[in-house]
Structure 1
Amino acid sequence: MPLQSRHGSSSDLDELTLVFRSVRESSSSLVAPLSDADATVQSMPDASPAKWHLAHTSWFFETFVLAANLPHYRHFDPHYNFLFNSYYEAFGPRHARPRRGMLTRPTLEEILAYRAHVDAAIEHLLLEAPSPGIVEMIKLGCHHEQQHQELLLTDILHLFAQNPLRPVYRLGGDDSVAAAPPAASYEEFEGGIIQIGAGGLDFAFDCERPRHRVFIEPYRLSNRLVVNAEWTDFIADGGYRNPLLWLSEGWSKLCAEKWSAPLYWEERDGEFWTMTLAGLRPVNPAEPVVHVSYFEADAFARWAKGRLPSEAEWERVALNNPVEGNFLESDLLRPAAASATKSGMRQMFGDVWEWTSSAFAPYPRFRPSEGAAAEYNGKFMCGQQVLRGGSCVTPVSHIRASYRNFFPPDARWQFSGLRLAGDANEA
């Protein structure tokens, strides 16, 4: 369901109420296959338990919307502000992120009751004809929760990958896409001054604004994502053993953590297998490579005599493509091979987040959101790389061409892959 409606008539509020319900119900459905133990354990400091994701997104609505705008609102539990604040310094001290998996209590049942308490209060507030500012904060809360829906699945995959039993989270839908991807080719694009960034009054995060002009040189962009067969060739050619392909920090990380293949890949009887949300399965040569870091993507691009696109180059092409593809709603829960029958650019949206060469930095004239949401994005504009396009576990209504995701360059557990670019004058 779209999250782009503007505040105005009662029909707008009715639509927002439906959107709110849909987002909250989707989160609940994602934890349905999990036990209380599954939802409690934390597999690494960068991941969070599913139970924490459910509670934190409710804390966000409670803190940013209800406590400030609903008279006589009763907090579900005063301790939750300490337990489920993520990184908002303005709201006081909080439980340490690496120790979220120690929270055996509250139980999953209690967290679901917390969600029901918050849901009822938000719906009551929506009946009171809230101000435009409150409406925008509720929209932000919905998009914030969709971010955590994706993170919840990403973290569950990492957790289950640590279990020798290789448990199945859920069997995904059938992959009806062609078994072999189309041949990779480049499309040429003119250079010049273009505009990127979110415009208009539809919802966007503050880091997507303002819309501004960028100069780009003529360039080429691959018609599809890099696939597992190509990555296997990279491995066989010594890609993980050649320091000349790697950025210095990336090579240090490779050596320290002994990278030799994408995260979750393991070799069995001469063949690669990979852990997915549907359990362990053979690596499909035709599917896009996934769970690679920016360092790996950059090294592969250098090996392939290409480069990663800038986010401006990517967005310029994405604006001419509809937001459609393999998203969470497809229920495949893994990247799919590109259609061999479709012409032009493929997989600009969905399947895997695409690493770009762009650092996550403020756009010209950027100003963080005012008020409590000021800490949402701006404070992270250092040491992060931009990814574009969404993935197979991203809700489709959450994505637009201007969307800027960001992660540290060594992050691998996200559903991240790549598309090659090049300069237009290259042969």
Structure 2
Amino acid sequence: MLSSTMASQRAEATPGQAEKYLAIREATRALAAPLSAEDCTIQSMPDASPVKWHLAHTTWFFETFVLEPHCPAYRAFDPAYRVLFNSYYNAIGDMHPRPERGLLSRPGLEEVLAYRQHVDEAMLALLDRAPSTPLPAAVTDLVELGLNHEQQHQELILTDLKHLLSRHPQMPAYQKQWPLTQVLVRDARWIPFAEGLREIGHDGRGFCFDNEMPRHRVWLDAFQIASHPVTHGDFIEFIGDGGYRRPELWLSAGWDAVTDRGWQAPAYWTQRDGQWHAFTLHGEVPVDPNAPVCHVSFFEAEAFARWAKARLPTEAEWEIAAGGVPRSGNFLESGALHPLAPREAVADGLLAQAFGDVWEWTRSDYGPYPGFQPAIGAVGEYNGKFMCGQYVLRGGSCATPASHVRATYRNFFPPDARWQFSGLRLARDA
């Protein structure tokens, strides 16, 4: 949820909110445009959701939190949707079980798209009235939260869809491959940071999720962090050195995952004739040794760091190190859906490829910052209740909307999650 200090900023920003709303909603619809109704209905695993469900749930969010409480004349498209497309908001009421979202053959895709249009018309009518009748800050805050929530689901559409397509025996492409510039070999180096008292967390300028607040001080001992993320080539060396067969490199729960699930390489990798290949949203491609490794779990990232005689950075170390890095590169909005796209060089002393390639695992448990308080009501369930048993990732991936990434963004997943565009960067004590 937005911080309370931003209320006046949001009220002033209302005149442009209708255009922003429309652009983000159209971007979501565009992601589904190349897909068939069947593509949009199937659920490939309990952790993923069908594209159709994402289209409906993001619409449900605006209907439930904005239109129904703040527009007395609004009429729900279908009262049954309150249960069907509720994700995890217990304060709202019952919800359809997450592992069974793929069983929702009805409503069909066309009806879900009609639902989106119904809600969009009501939302645009609400937002277009703002210049003459300004909306309360609480309402514009909810709209801004809903738009950022939808951007999160844009990324989830791609990650979930990739897993779905990978299960098809023909491994179909979501988009055709375009020619990619060769990824250049770059010499990773260690960037030093002195010990000291630092501040992390969002500073209140612009949007943030509630888990990025409040800004607070942390003490950091001197450390070094790698200039570049770990590459496919690095990970191939780890595999060749028996990385997946050496229990001394793994946390106990990680070794259980390796043995129980038969992990031998990152997700979506296969080996043929001595060459590793990876499934991507553009189909299967040879693994480029110079590109950032992708689709590894926290367990794999931690084991690799131990093998490399290093460690994962804490989220505070990562944020301090990435604080001066410009948010540039190829992201979802520019069409790059593959971490093989080339990156611009950055100045010495700055992290390379910090934003727009892969989410980077940190060694930090996902927990509340000192003084954190979830919002009152159902919206307070957005982040706070998940602060248990998960680890923080930082940066943003090739599937993340460009306007959505920032150094303070705290993504989080369980330690065995691999279907996200997740990689790692090494750190070590000074």
Same fold? TM cut 0.5: yes
Give the equivalent residue in structure 2 for 1:160. Answer: 165
Aligned length: 418
Task: State the Cα distance separating 1:51 from its structure 2 match.
Answer: 0.2
Pick from 378, 381, 406 the counterpart of residue 412 of structure 2. 406
> Secondary structure of the residue that 2:309 maps to in structure 1?
coil
Return the alpha-carbon distance in structure 1 between the equivalents of residues 34 and 209 of structure 2: 31
Do the aligned residues in 2 keep the contact of 1:84 with 1:95 (CA within 8 Å)? Answer: yes
Matched to 1:325, the amino acid is G
Structure 2 counterparts to residues 97-112 of structure 1, below 5 A: 97-112=98-113
> Secondary structure of the residue that 1:301 maps to in structure 2?
helix
Return the alpha-carbon distance in structure 2 between the equivalents of residues 104 and 339 of structure 1: 42
Deviations 1:31-77 (A, max 9, x none): 00110000000000000000000000000000000000001211001
Deviations 1:278-297 (A, max 9, x none): 01111111110000000000
Give the equivalent residue in structure 1 for 2:209. Answer: 205
Return the alpha-carbon distance in structure 1 between the equivalents of residues 396 and 183 of structure 2: 22
Task: State the Cα distance separating 1:327 from its structure 2 match.
Answer: 1.3
Do the aligned residues in 2 keep the contact of 1:227 with 1:287 (CA within 8 Å)? Answer: yes
Give the equivalent residue in structure 1 for 2:139. Answer: 134
Return the alpha-carbon distance in structure 2 between the equivalents of residues 126 and 201 of structure 1: 22
Do the aligned residues in 1 keep the contact of 2:394 with 2:410 (CA within 8 Å)? Answer: yes
CA separation of 1:81 and 1:341: change in aligned 2, threshold 3 A: closer
Return the alpha-carbon distance in structure 1 between the equivalents of residues 347 and 186 of structure 2: 9
Return the alpha-carbon distance in structure 2 between the equivalents of residues 181 and 6 of structure 1: 44
Alignment TM-score, normalising by the size of structure 2: 0.95
Matched to 1:111, the amino acid is V
Pick from 354, 357, 365 the counterpart of residue 359 of structure 1. 365
Structure 2 counterparts to residues 382-393 of structure 1, below 5 A: 382-393=388-399
Return the alpha-carbon distance in structure 2 between the equivalents of residues 340 and 231 of structure 1: 23
Deviates more, 1:233-242 or 1:184-193: 184-193
Asked if residue 6 in structure 1 is aligned to residue 4 in structure 2, the reply is no
Do the aligned residues in 1 keep the contact of 2:18 with 2:128 (CA within 8 Å)? Answer: no
Structure 2 counterparts to residues 266-277 of structure 1, below 5 A: 266-277=270-281
Alignment TM-score, normalising by the size of structure 1: 0.95
Matched to 2:53, the amino acid is W
CA separation of 1:158 and 1:313: change in aligned 2, threshold 3 A: same
Deviations 1:225-281 (A, max 9, x none): 110011000000000000000000000011100000000000111111111000111
Give the equivalent residue in structure 1 for 2:116. Answer: 115
Task: State the Cα distance separating 1:372 from its structure 2 match.
Answer: 2.6
In structure 1, list runs of 5 or more residues that go unmatched: none
Asked if residue 297 in structure 1 is aligned to residue 297 in structure 2, the reply is no
Return the alpha-carbon distance in structure 2 between the equivalents of residues 173 and 318 of structure 1: 30
CA separation of 1:155 and 1:70: change in aligned 2, threshold 3 A: same
Deviations 1:308-327 (A, max 9, x none): 00000000011111122231
Pick from 247, 250, 257 the counterpart of residue 246 of structure 1. 250
> Secondary structure of the residue that 1:355 maps to in structure 2?
strand
Give the equivalent residue in structure 1 for 2:352. Answer: 346
Do the aligned residues in 1 keep the contact of 2:177 with 2:283 (CA within 8 Å)? Answer: no
Percent identical:
54
Pick from 180, 187, 192 the counterpart of residue 183 of structure 1. 187
> Secondary structure of the residue that 1:203 maps to in structure 2?
coil
Give the equivalent residue in structure 1 for 2:148. Answer: 143
> Secondary structure of the residue that 1:6 maps to in structure 2?
helix
Return the alpha-carbon distance in structure 1 between the equivalents of residues 53 and 37 of structure 2: 12
Do the aligned residues in 1 keep the contact of 2:288 with 2:340 (CA within 8 Å)? Answer: no
In structure 2, list runs of 5 or more residues that go unmatched: 1-5
RMSD of equivalent CA atoms: 1.4
Task: State the Cα distance separating 1:340 from its structure 2 match.
Answer: 7.8
Task: State the Cα distance separating 1:202 from its structure 2 match.
Answer: 2.0
Pick from 236, 241, 253 the counterpart of residue 237 of structure 1. 241
Do the aligned residues in 1 keep the contact of 2:278 with 2:285 (CA within 8 Å)? Answer: yes
Give the equivalent residue in structure 2 for 1:77. Answer: 78
Matched to 2:249, the amino acid is L
Deviations 1:1-22 (A, max 9, x none): xxx993244xx22311111111
Matched to 1:277, the amino acid is L
Matched to 2:34, the amino acid is P
Deviates more, 1:333-342 or 1:75-84: 333-342
Do the aligned residues in 2 keep the contact of 1:191 with 1:218 (CA within 8 Å)? Answer: yes
Return the alpha-carbon distance in structure 2 between the equivalents of residues 7 and 221 of structure 1: 37
Give the equivalent residue in structure 2 for 1:32. Answer: 33
Structure 2 counterparts to residues 306-345 of structure 1, below 5 A: 306-336=310-340, 339=343, 341-344=345-348, 345=351
Return the alpha-carbon distance in structure 2 between the equivalents of residues 363 and 141 of structure 1: 23
Return the alpha-carbon distance in structure 2 between the equivalents of residues 156 and 145 of structure 1: 16
Task: State the Cα distance separating 1:173 from its structure 2 match.
Answer: 4.4
Deviates more, 1:71-80 or 1:178-187: 178-187
